[in-house]
Amino acid sequence: MHKMRRASGCWSILFLRRWAPYMLALAPLLFVVVMLVAPTLRLVWEGIWGQDLAMGLSEEAGTGPAGNAWSIVLDPDLRWRMGWSLMQATATCLLALVLGVPLAWVLARWQFTGRELVLRLLMLPFVVPTLVAALGVLALWGPRGWLGAPLAAAGFELEETPWMLLYGNLFFNLCLLVRAGVQALEQVSSTRLAAARTLGATAWRAFWRIEWPVMVPWLASSLCLVFLYCFSGFGLALVLGGQRYATVEVEIYRLVAHELALAQASRLALWTMGLNTLAALAYAWVEQRLASPAHVTPLPRRQVTSLTQRCVLATVLLVLFMVSGAPLLAIVLRALLALANTNSMALLLNEETLSALQNTLVFSTLALCFSSLLGVLHALALHASEIAGWRKVAARTASFLPFAVSPVMMAFGLLLLYPQWSASLPVLLGAYALLAYPFVATALTAALDQLPASYTQAAATLGARPWRVFWRVTLPLISPALRRGASFAAATALGEFAVSLFLSRPEWTTLTTLIHQHLGRPGASHLDAAMLLSALLMLLTLGCFILIETHDRSVS
């Protein structure tokens, strides 16, 4: 009897152990289904069968799904919008490639003082909120900008041109490409290069035949990401695109917020989602073909000595600074000026700003906690389930789903699906968490993969139950990755804009929506107020960046 009870107790334990991965995955999965999959499906439905009632576009009434989907292609405005969105994304890719490859080569091959710092700072644009970046470009090149004002006086108005948007795109994406390039170049085997040189290849030929082929897959993968970010970008295009050069996402927002043309917006969203998915699949495919980092002896870096080298270095660093550093500096300078200006200070020292600051902090913290929890569960579930092969890849790609469905479309889908909750706090926070948690999940998944299985096995044989193993061994060892992922998540939540615009109520104005409000009101003081708030937001995200980049020495 005693033996039987013992056995059944063991059975339940083993049963639990077997199904633990699925139980762990339940919460994140449910969350993703409710907050992402369902709204996306609803959006798709609306795009195919929706009709704009009571809005007066009589020629659209009565067309079926095919007609609806095709109406986007037929409408010249929307065709232009779609075409321009693709064009600006492609143009950014090309510009990033042309500027980024030389930059990457210099950073990878030459040694100079401050090289480490530059490499670290390459990550900075990634955490800067899109609205801050947009204001940075405005502060630098806008009609009242540090460089833009003299240009405007000379007759070159940059305001209704596509260049500001492309500049803003480059701000974020150049660094991405440079990082990929540097990582790629470190994979080039020095022995192979030496062999090529001894066989008679010049430096240039050696580059083309040995280094470039190694770089291509890395660059291709990051170009896919660049394309995705540019095509589905919202904040930048809203502020810098103007009437003519805004992207599809902005058009969707305008159709919903200004014209209430939900059905037409859904149709547009459908097309955009399709293109996004193609880009995401291309990215996943290229990532697959990327060779896992082999242990090659990298080429040793050469110290910069000659004058030509110094000049080239200076140019390259200048370009990097102008693209990714100057806008931030411009905001800071403008903000400092604005501090001295009583008008803008008067605009800011009120309840509205304080409440926006409070909202931003509270929402971000809540979203951070929630997304950390989800990320931990997701990573643990993925790790514990011993799926392999294509299923594993699929599960990993799935954690990037929020990127394929852009924030604007997710918010729009939520609006369509849960109209009675469209302006409710849980949905808003849920959307924040959904956008932030992939960072935690992917960081933790990578860390768990690297954790030797023997550690947890040793802990188990030493008498620790699974929860204790997690608490005493796994968690401390993955906590650097958790911190890293959480800092990215925090930066994402702090800078979140699109969802707040769609789903928020006036009493939940955050810093980002407040900045947007100030931008919408005419007058220099409002612009200055927006700059000040951007500087504040930038400081907060800088804090996150510092948390990401400080190395934890206690764990090797």
Q: Residue 449, interface with other proteins (CB under 8 A)?
A: no
Residue 398: C-alpha distances to residues 293, 336, 401 (Å)? 23, 44, 5
Residues in region 238-267 near other proteins by CB under 8 A: 243, 254, 256-261
Closest to other proteins by CB, 256 or 331: 256
Q: How far is the CB of 362 from other proteins (least distance, A)?
A: 4
Question: Can you give the C-alpha Rg of the chain in angstroms?
Answer: 25
Q: What share of the chain is helix, strand, coil (3-state, %, to 5)?
A: 80, 0, 20
What 8-state DSSP symbol labels residue 550? S
Residues in region 414-433 near other proteins by CB under 8 A: 415, 419-424
Closest to other proteins by CB, 289 or 551: 551
When binding is defined by CB under 8 A, the residue of 97, 384, 464, 542 that contacts other proteins is 464
Phi, psi of 31, rounded to the nearest 5 degrees: -60, -45
- What single letter denotes the amino acid at residue 286? V
Size of residue set near other proteins by CB under 8 A: 73
When binding is defined by CB under 8 A, the residue of 138, 486, 493, 519 that contacts other proteins is 486
Binding-site string for other proteins from residue 103 to residue 142, where x marks contact by CB under 8 A and - marks none: ----------------------------------------
When binding is defined by CB under 8 A, the residue of 336, 462, 539, 546 that contacts other proteins is 462
When binding is defined by CB under 8 A, the residue of 120, 302, 392, 465 that contacts other proteins is 465
Q: How far is the CB of 47 from other proteins (least distance, A)?
A: 18
Q: Are 47 and 68 in contact (CB under 8 A)?
A: yes
Binding-site string for other proteins from residue 387 to residue 416, where x marks contact by CB under 8 A and - marks none: ----------------------------x-
Residues in region 21-50 near other proteins by CB under 8 A: none
Which tokens in the block code for residue 354? 């304080």
Reduced to 3 states, what is the DSSP secondary structure of residue 265? helix
Least Cα distance to 438 among 493, 494, 360 occurs for 493
Binding-site string for other proteins from residue 509 to residue 548, where x marks contact by CB under 8 A and - marks none: --------x--xxxx-----------------------x-
When binding is defined by CB under 8 A, the residue of 468, 471, 539, 546 that contacts other proteins is 468
Least Cα distance to 329 among 541, 139, 119, 130 occurs for 139
- What single letter denotes the amino acid at residue 479? S
When binding is defined by CB under 8 A, the residue of 120, 209, 310, 505 that contacts other proteins is 505
Residues in region 49-68 near other proteins by CB under 8 A: 52, 54-58
CA distance 533 to 329: 14
Residues in region 348-367 near other proteins by CB under 8 A: 358, 361-362, 365-366
DSSP string, 267-315: HHHHHHHHHHHHHHHHHHHHHHHSPP-----BPPPEEP-SHHHHHHHHH
Reduced to 3 states, what is the DSSP secondary structure of residue 110? strand
Options 81-89, 90-98, 305-313, 470-478: segment touching other proteins (CB under 8 A): 470-478
Q: Residue 452, interface with other proteins (CB under 8 A)?
A: yes
- Gap between the terminal Cα atoms of the chain: 50
Least Cα distance to 431 among 356, 359, 507, 500 occurs for 500
Q: How far is the CB of 7 from other proteins (least distance, A)?
A: 6
CA distance 311 to 320: 14
Closest to other proteins by CB, 52 or 496: 52
Q: How far is the CB of 128 from other proteins (least distance, A)?
A: 21
Residues in region 314-343 near other proteins by CB under 8 A: none
Q: Residue 479, interface with other proteins (CB under 8 A)?
A: yes
Options 184-192, 245-253, 434-442, 456-464: segment touching other proteins (CB under 8 A): 456-464
DSSP string, 313-351: HHHHHHHHIIIIIHHHHHHHHHHHHHHH-HHHHHHHSSH
Q: Residue 20, interface with other proteins (CB under 8 A)?
A: no
Residues in region 70-99 near other proteins by CB under 8 A: 76-77, 80
Q: Are 215 and 101 in contact (CB under 8 A)?
A: yes
Q: How far is the CB of 552 from other proteins (least distance, A)?
A: 6
Q: How far is the CB of 291 from other proteins (least distance, A)?
A: 25
Q: Residue 11, interface with other proteins (CB under 8 A)?
A: yes
Neighbouring C-alpha atoms within 13 Å toward the C-beta of 68: 24
CA distance 363 to 367: 6
When binding is defined by CB under 8 A, the residue of 281, 476, 539, 546 that contacts other proteins is 476
